[in-house]
Amino acid sequence: MAEYVAAQKTGLVQSHKGYNPRIIFFYFAITLALMVLVGGLGYRQLLRSDLYQEKEKNQSQRRILIPGPRGNLYDRDGRLLVGNRPRFAAVIYLDELRPEFRREYINVRKTYREIGDADLPNVAQMSILARHAVVTRYLNRINAALGRHEEVDAKALDKHFLSQPQIPYTLIADLHPEEYARLLEQLPVNSPLQVYTSSTRYYPYGPAAAHALGYVSSTNEIDLAKDFPGADLMTFQMKGSGGRNGLEAQFDDELQGEAGGSIYRVDPAGVRVESLEKRRPVQGKNLATSLDIDLQLAAEKQMKLYEMAGAAVAMDVNTGEVLVMASLPSYDLNDFSPHLSTTVAHDINERGAWLNRATQGLYPPGSTFKIITSIAALRAGVVEPDEPIINCNGVFYRYSHRFVCYNGRGHHGDVLMPTAIAQSCDIYFYEAGWRTTPEVLAAEARRFGLGSPTGIELPHESTSSLVPDPAWKMERRGLRWMPGDTANYAIGQGDLLVTPLQMAAFAASVARGQTRTTPYVLHDPERPTQRTESIGLSAKGYAAVLEGMEEVTVSGTAKTAFTTIPIQRIPGLRVAGKTGTAQKRTAEGTINFAWFICFAPIERPQVAIAVMIEGDTPGEETGGGSFSAPVAHDILKAWAEKHPDLLPPPPPATPPAKVALR
């Protein structure tokens, strides 16, 4: 103790106070920092736990969507026109191969180092090589089992792996059913190789009604139910299909199925751990079309005999429902499923088969327009049904021009309206047109809906049909309307342009004694009879038009197709028709368009038809009676065989004369 006191006095030992006021600040600073940390931890653990749970969920869960099958399309009698067939594919789940990818990557890197390659690939390139090698080994197993020689597309594989690792990668897209069965037997249940079953469009009748039915192509847009969970999750989806033409496009929203799918929990590497939720896809709505496949096939069979382009439309006179919509050349809709090849697309393009000639083809109507000229002249009061307005000697001169009767080369004499219609006398209709005036002819054509779209429920209907008049010619060409223009107009030539669909609707309107018919392509058993403006003819005038149209098929320009050959006659069916042949001048020569419009039965009209066949050889005669009338005949024959109850009853038999007994 004495030594310690002595040391203190000499300054060899320092003394410390138990409390230093200079460090008090650090006590407070450390305490405050700890309180902030504890508060922040409590805030995140207790008050914001939902946010971090959501972030954890987004990192550990994935959603996979599978599109629903499209709805079916049926004809009016319930026969399948468009359906779905199973499509079998060999696929591989890449997320399950990550351990193998890593091992193969090590082998690739080791190999390059052992061979001393100075141009060593980078990490990304070696990863691509590793994935390609692993997937190729699996594909070779499938090739060995099926006797195929398929190869892996390295670029497609890399793109899929980087963008959609949770979606199975397709190795073989379209397996035959027997190949599907063989793989099912040989693949282990837990193999990353699996057989995936999806659906693709199937068309039982191939090219029949192809333009009306339409086709589909792949799309990333799929329909989801409003209550489908996981909108905030990373989502992968299989490709769906969308309508691209015809009914498939027009009613795409109804036909689209409702997507199903799964939500998975994944590990940090993205490998699926467990399934959390599944929902099955739901098929889209089935639709009944107005088409009658029996009549459709009858029309196309006859049209194919000509090996020419053309169109045919048949519709229910009363409801406007389209029974037939044929356009040739056509294409097999099954070639679009599951996808359209470049070769097939090029062939369709070369043949001009994309165009739906029934709704998009624009043609001068030829002599079928003479029915409008007749109606316009009668309504204007410039002709009477029993008045021979001019004598036809085959040719005559007026307005310093020579006008020829091209049908039968004339000599119809003092012809009346019914005979003029039946024999298609041009000179009669030249005179009727001059008397009526072009303005009145144009107004009458527009009253029947020519010059404007019909409003059919199909995409891409032409909006360019044309009903010209003198004002149009002056505005468009700066030229006056001449008497020759009126003569051409009256027989359906000149600048007039119509579609076969418009002419079928016109025929249906005349059959009802009205002016407008709206066509429909969906079948509604409760659809009412259409009621539009009256045709505006007296009973005598209307009867004269019908008489002339019936004589067309009995003794006139279409008699060969309907009555000349006994086997061609359709028992009990009276048909009102009109042939037409229009011309178009080309650099190679004049091309003909053969027309025929009709409706039947005359007593109680049920079916209206328009047929147009394009001539394919300049200078060749392509008349409506020879080419188009036979198509309409076959449609009517098929209709009459299906609907004998709608045919008029046969006339009562005449009792045999009594023989006097001696």
DSSP for 433-468, please give it: HHHH-HHHHHHHHHHTTTTS----SSTT--S--B--
Please tell me the number of Cα atoms within 13 Å of 453 on its side-chain side. 12
Spatial contact of 520 and 320, defined as CB atoms under 8 Å apart: yes
Instruction: State the pLDDT confidence band at 457, using cuts at 50, 70 and 90.
Output: very high
Whether 223 has a pLDDT exceeding 60, the answer reads yes
pLDDT cut 70: percent of the chain above it: 88
Global pTM value: 0.84
Instruction: Determine the average pLDDT of the residues in 652-661.
Output: 55
Taken as a whole, the chain contains a residue count of 662
Residue type, 420: A
Instruction: Determine the average pLDDT of the residues in 632-657.
Output: 85
Q: Which residues on neighbouring strands pair with residue 413, listed in sequence order? A: 392
Instruction: Please tell me the distance from the alpha carbon of residue 58 to that of residue 68, in angstroms, as a whole number.
Output: 25
Whether 42 has a pLDDT exceeding 70, the answer reads no
Of the candidate ranges 64-68, 134-138, 615-619, 629-633, the one whose mean pLDDT is the lowest: 615-619
Instruction: Determine the average pLDDT of the residues in 344-354.
Output: 96
Q: Which has the higher per-residue pLDDT, 120 or 9?
A: 120
Neighbours of 23 (CB within 10 A): 8
- pLDDT at position 205 is 97
Neighbours of 93 (CB within 10 A): 18
Residue 635, class by beta-carbon neighbours within 10 Å (0-12 exposed, 13-18 middle, 19+ buried)? buried
Q: How far, rounded to the nearest angstrom, does the alpha carbon of residue 524 sit from its chain's CA centroid? A: 20
Instruction: Determine the average pLDDT of the residues in 585-612.
Output: 92
Instruction: Please tell me the distance from the alpha carbon of residue 485 to that of residue 495, in angstroms, as a whole number.
Output: 9
Residue type, 257: G
The candidate with the shortest Cα–Cα distance to 74, out of 643, 521, 639, is: 521
Q: Where are the alpha helices (DSSP H) in 18-65?
A: 24-42, 49-60
- pLDDT at position 566 is 83
Contacts of 393 (CB under 8 A, 6+ apart): 410, 411, 413
Strands 234-237 and 216-219: unpaired
Crossing angle of helices 483-490 and 438-447, in 10° steps, is 30
Whether 571 has a pLDDT exceeding 50, the answer reads yes
Instruction: State the pLDDT confidence band at 222, using cuts at 50, 70 and 90.
Output: confident
Instruction: Determine the average pLDDT of the residues in 159-173.
Output: 87
- pLDDT at position 55 is 45
* pLDDT tens per residue across span 292-315: 999 999 999 999 999 999 999 999
Whether 271 has a pLDDT exceeding 90, the answer reads no
Of the candidate ranges 531-540, 604-613, 650-659, the one whose mean pLDDT is the lowest: 650-659
- pLDDT at position 417 is 97
Q: Which residues on neighbouring strands pair with residue 392, listed in sequence order? A: 413
The candidate with the shortest Cα–Cα distance to 378, out of 412, 405, 417, is: 417
- pLDDT at position 164 is 81
Q: Which has the higher per-residue pLDDT, 26 or 596?
A: 596
User: Quick one: residue 206, left, alpha or beta (phi over 0 = left, psi -120 to 50 = alpha)?
Assistant: left
- Tokens in use for 588? 């190679």
Whether 52 has a pLDDT exceeding 50, the answer reads no
Instruction: State the pLDDT confidence band at 153, using cuts at 50, 70 and 90.
Output: very high
- Tokens in use for 304? 């194919």
Instruction: Please tell me the distance from the alpha carbon of residue 658 to that of residue 642, in angstroms, as a whole number.
Output: 39
* pLDDT tens per residue across span 60-77: 677 777 788 999 999 999
DSSP letter, residue 176: -
Of the candidate ranges 10-19, 321-330, 567-576, 635-644, the one whose mean pLDDT is the lowest: 10-19
Spatial contact of 92 and 168, defined as CB atoms under 8 Å apart: yes
Give CA separation, 111 vs 32, 104, 158, 588, 642, in Å: 59, 10, 21, 69, 76
Spatial contact of 250 and 212, defined as CB atoms under 8 Å apart: no
ω before 338 within 30° of 0 (cis)? yes
Spatial contact of 557 and 544, defined as CB atoms under 8 Å apart: no
Instruction: Please tell me the distance from the alpha carbon of residue 390 to that of residue 413, in angstroms, as a whole number.
Output: 8
Instruction: Determine the average pLDDT of the residues in 276-281.
Output: 83
Instruction: Determine the average pLDDT of the residues in 591-618.
Output: 93
Helix, strand, coil percent values for the chain (each to nearest 5) = 40, 20, 40
Instruction: Please tell me the distance from the alpha carbon of residue 12 to that of residue 259, in angstroms, as a whole number.
Output: 90
- pLDDT at position 4 is 45
Which of 41-45, 362-366, 559-563 is most confident? 362-366
Of the candidate ranges 205-209, 232-236, 423-427, 467-471, the one whose mean pLDDT is the lowest: 232-236
Instruction: Please tell me the distance from the alpha carbon of residue 438 to that of residue 571, in angstroms, as a whole number.
Output: 41
Strands 607-614 and 169-175: unpaired
Instruction: Determine the average pLDDT of the residues in 447-460.
Output: 97
Contacts of 145 (CB under 8 A, 6+ apart): 182, 183, 186
Whether 446 has a pLDDT exceeding 60, the answer reads yes
Instruction: State the pLDDT confidence band at 9, using cuts at 50, 70 and 90.
Output: low
- pLDDT at position 659 is 47
- Tokens in use for 12? 């060899």
- pLDDT at position 455 is 96
Max CA-CA distance within the chain? Answer: 188
Residue 102: enclosing H or E segment and its boundaries? Answer: helix 98-114
- pLDDT at position 620 is 58
Whether 411 has a pLDDT exceeding 80, the answer reads yes
DSSP letter, residue 72: P
Give CA separation, 65 vs 45, 242, 257, 428, in Å: 33, 16, 12, 69
Instruction: State the pLDDT confidence band at 661, using cuts at 50, 70 and 90.
Output: very low
- pLDDT at position 122 is 86
Q: How many Å is the Cα radius of gyration of the chain?
A: 40
Dihedral sign (CA 584, 580, 604, 633): negative
Phi, psi dihedral angles at 268 (to 5 degrees): -55, -25
DSSP letter, residue 258: B
Q: Which residue has the tokens 């039968």?
A: 408
Q: Which has the higher per-residue pLDDT, 264 or 525?
A: 525
Spatial contact of 80 and 74, defined as CB atoms under 8 Å apart: yes
Whether 358 has a pLDDT exceeding 90, the answer reads yes
Whether 407 has a pLDDT exceeding 70, the answer reads yes
Instruction: Determine the average pLDDT of the residues in 517-523.
Output: 98
Spatial contact of 68 and 254, defined as CB atoms under 8 Å apart: no
Q: How far, rounded to the nearest angstrom, does the alpha carbon of residue 628 sit from its chain's CA centroid? A: 26
Phi, psi dihedral angles at 416 (to 5 degrees): -95, 165
Instruction: State the pLDDT confidence band at 235, using cuts at 50, 70 and 90.
Output: confident
* pLDDT tens per residue across span 104-122: 999 988 888 888 766 778 8
- pLDDT at position 20 is 62
- pLDDT at position 67 is 85
Mean pLDDT of the chain: 88
Of the candidate ranges 73-82, 167-176, 183-192, 647-656, the one whose mean pLDDT is the lowest: 647-656
DSSP for 563-578, please give it: IISGGG--TT---EEE
